[in-house]
Chain A
Amino acid sequence: SQELEQSPQSLIVQEGKNLTINCTSSKTLYGLYWYKQKYGEGLIFLMMLQKGGEEKSHEKITAKLDEKKQQSSLHITASQPSHAGIYLCGADIRPGNTPLVFGKGTRLSVIA
């Protein structure tokens, strides 16, 4: 079974609307990372969350970590076409410098 579940798998929103992407882990989280990927390109780091209740923002993107639920949410306010892409959550599910496990990604399209 998948260690990190992301939802929804895809999302189409109208420009200006808000949206939320969720990432739930079946294992204890030692760190949660959000990346964005545009088609044919590499991964762009967005945010890292480590502590329960932690919340970080960058421009119009906010990410929160609910440690008890082993869940993180990524919220985009007033979406723009530049927000379109694939959002991937990655997690440290083991202590130490181990590779990340990733969710299957959420494909976001923003319609003008």
Chain B
Amino acid sequence: DTAVSQTPKYLVTQMGNDKSIKCEQNLGHDTMYWYKQDSKKFLKIMFSYNNKELIINETVPNRFSPKSPDKAHLNLHINSLELGDSAVYFCASRGTSGYEQFFGPGTRLTVL
């Protein structure tokens, strides 16, 4: 069984479009994250949710809006996509501090 799943795996779209990425974890974890990995493979936190509440929102444009309908899901909606949004987006979850974060397989977003 997949611990953290993301859909879609690949997303190719035009500038200006709105798109969503979905994430689900079946580990019963309270905390979920969205990370962005740029073309140089640098992985950086975007958002952190704990029990459906936004805990951390790093310096991310307002065009990015996370939504957590329940503890097991954390979706990422992006408005007015720009070329610079092209990256791989990873969802992750964690049960308790001091334990590993489980990462999803990533969504490769390409904005044309």
Contact = CB atoms under 8 A, between A and B. Distances in A.
B44 interface: yes
B33 A41 contact: no
Interface residues of B, number: 27
B101 interface: yes
Given A43-B90, A97-B50, A102 B98 contact: no
Contact of A99 (B35, B41, B96, B105): B35
Contact of B98 (A42, A88, A92, A104): A92
Given A48-B99, A48-B100, A97-B94, A42 B41 contact: no
A40 B9 CA distance: 10
A50 B103 contact: no
B93 to A, nearest CB: 11
A95 B101 contact: no
B31 interface: yes
B40 A104 contact: yes
Contacts of B102: 45
A24 B88 CA distance: 25
A99 B99 contact: no
Interface string B19-44: 00000000000110101000011111
A110 interface: no
Interface in A1-53: 30-31, 33, 35, 37, 40-43, 45, 48, 50
A57 to B, nearest CB: 17
B56 interface: yes
Contacts of A88: 41, 43
A100 interface: yes
